[in-house]
Amino acid sequence: MANKKLIVGLTGGIGSGKSEVCRRFIAKGITVVDADIVAREVVEPGTPALELISGHFGENILLTTENQRRELNRARLREIIFSNPSEKDWLERTLHPIINQRIREQLKNAAGPYVILASPLLLETRQYLLVDRILVIDASEQLQIERASQRDFSNEAQIKAIMQTQLSRQERCARANDIIQNHGSLIELDEQVGSLHKLYMELAQNN
């Protein structure tokens, strides 16, 4: 008799293939809670978190949209925290509990035998504490750079700068329960997702 829903945390570096893998689990009817989407939702216009941010950094952290909504100026915020570790700390201390609360709610409300929390920073933040099992999507750094730069039309230096803020492949894989090797074709990716889906269905039965 299943009593507690199995929660799988899915993570990987930029360009490793997280979105491709998530799409495949979604196609199997599995709910994926996306930490990036939640992080954007909690600072939408009119939210308490956005109030806290404008209270702290001042009104010029907001910009006015075409439809006269005051929304977060992400570029400006990124600039401030990039050069100021104590402001970065403040922002993380303020936002992470709000984001994690919302993630917890979405995980709780998800239907289905198991649910996935997809987060690029699962292991870098306390989000790993929310999951029962860790799935890492792994690709070589060269492939990460090639795929991410093609997708985002960004250059190698920008992708490398983002990779610097993330765990190394070795550190990430060392903490995984399951690893998807995304060094081959998308068909090979399908097969690995298929096997893991089978495993998670079995684990969910006994959870």
Positions in the binding site for ligand ADP (CB under 6 A) = 12, 14-20, 147-148, 151, 182, 185-186, 189
Minimum Å distance from CB 89 to ligand ADP? 26
Considering the complex, state which of residue 84 and residue 150 has its C-beta at the smaller distance from ligand ADP: 150
Minimum Å distance from CB 136 to ligand ADP? 11
Minimum Å distance from CB 152 to ligand ADP? 9
Minimum Å distance from CB 63 to ligand ADP? 27
Considering the complex, state which of residue 53 and residue 145 has its C-beta at the smaller distance from ligand ADP: 145
Q: What is the DSSP string of the chain?
A: ---S-EEEEEEE-TTSSHHHHHHHHHHTT-EEEEHHHHHHHTTSTT-HHHHHHHHHH-GGGEEE-TTS-EEE-HHHHHHHHHT-HHHHHHHHHHHHHHHHHHHHHHHHH--SSEEEEE-TTTTTSGGGGG-SEEEEEE--HHHHHHHHHHHHT--HHHHHHHHHTS--HHHHHHT-SEEEE-SS-HHHHHHHHHHHHHHHHHHHHH-
Considering the complex, state which of residue 31 and residue 47 has its C-beta at the smaller distance from ligand ADP: 31
Considering the complex, state which of residue 16 and residue 127 has its C-beta at the smaller distance from ligand ADP: 16
